[in-house]
Amino acid sequence: MTENTATDHPVNSLTAWTGASAILFDLDGVLTPTATVHEQAWQELFESYLSSRPEVTGYSESDYFDHIDGKPRFDGVRDFLASRGIVLPEGPTDDDPANTTVQGLGNRKNRIFNDIVSTGVEPFEGSVRFLEAVLERGLKVAVVSSSRNAPAVLEAAGLSHHFRVVVDGVVAAGEGLPGKPSPATYQYAAQLLGLPSEECVVVEDAVSGVQAGEAGSFHSVIGVDRGAGRQTLLDAGATVVVNDLDELL
């Protein structure tokens, strides 16, 4: 076997999953380009809400990165509103999306997100090719996502029939599992597949997800660079980094 002379690591993108029994996929950014759908749903939510508050500065793209990105949903609502000097009543967790409360607005964002994905999500072509190839070779697969919307996104992308095991935000909460960068949700998926972690490959596009893979005893961690940066993902513990999953074929 020829080793990639550009790296001193013996694993390259063609051997990263050789000998593994299963592939554990992150969803948003790995199988589907849905990270941007979250951004779009937040924009729709706050543009609509602020149209009733003409005295405050309107929503702009940088607000997403400054106040919302990466935070749990209701923290995002609260922190964005605080940036405009707005304090709303909290409301109950299951508050009606029509209500102007922190929880109501958060639930409205979720409804907008689900409406967008229900019109269809186009999965990454290279990811689908890789998924089909690993299934053909008899490997098991699972999805491990922090999102509570993973089943809806998989359905909209036409991928749900491939995944019997989906460990998403709802499953994690129900099982009391800490989120990424803890390896717990990935380890739980391996357990549901009936495999030791050592036989499972983790595929991730986010730093926290790569760290989760690195912290567990997995076969390897494949980083997909969708903007996080190749070196950043390697530094976080990725075994190899690719720009597209079909580079692994």
Other CB atoms closer than 10 Å to residue 224's CB: what's the count?
29
Our measurement of the distance from residue 176's CA atom to the centroid of its chain's CA atoms, rounded to an integer in Å, reads: 19
Shortest distance in whole angstroms from residue 34 CB to Mg ion? 9
Collapsed DSSP state (helix, strand, coil) of residue 141:
strand
Comparing CB distances to Mg ion, the nearer of 81 and 128 is: 128
Cβ(31)–Cβ(122) below 8 Å: no
Number of residues this chain uses to bind Mg ion (CB under 5 A) = 5
Comparing CB distances to Mg ion, the nearer of 29 and 123 is: 29
Is 26 noted as a catalytic residue in this protein? yes
Cβ(208)–Cβ(180) below 8 Å: yes
Shortest distance in whole angstroms from residue 30 CB to Mg ion? 6
Comparing CB distances to Mg ion, the nearer of 81 and 210 is: 210
Cβ(183)–Cβ(212) below 8 Å: yes
Angle between helices 35-50 and 73-83 (to 10 degrees): 40
Site for Mg ion in 16-35 (CB under 5 A): 26, 28-29
CA distance 17 to 235: 20
Site for Mg ion in 176-205 (CB under 5 A): 205
Q: Does 63 bind Mg ion (CB under 5 A)?
A: no
Shortest distance in whole angstroms from residue 236 CB to Mg ion? 13
Tokens representing residue 163 in the block = 């995944």
Is 96 noted as a catalytic residue in this protein? no
Across the chain, how many H-helices and E-strands are there?
Answer: 10, 6
Shortest distance in whole angstroms from residue 167 CB to Mg ion? 14
Site for Mg ion in 122-161 (CB under 5 A): none
Site for Mg ion in 203-222 (CB under 5 A): 205-206
Residues of the shown chain interacting with Mg ion in the complex, contacts defined by CB under 5 A: 26, 28-29, 205-206
Q: Which amino acids are annotated catalytic?
A: 26, 28
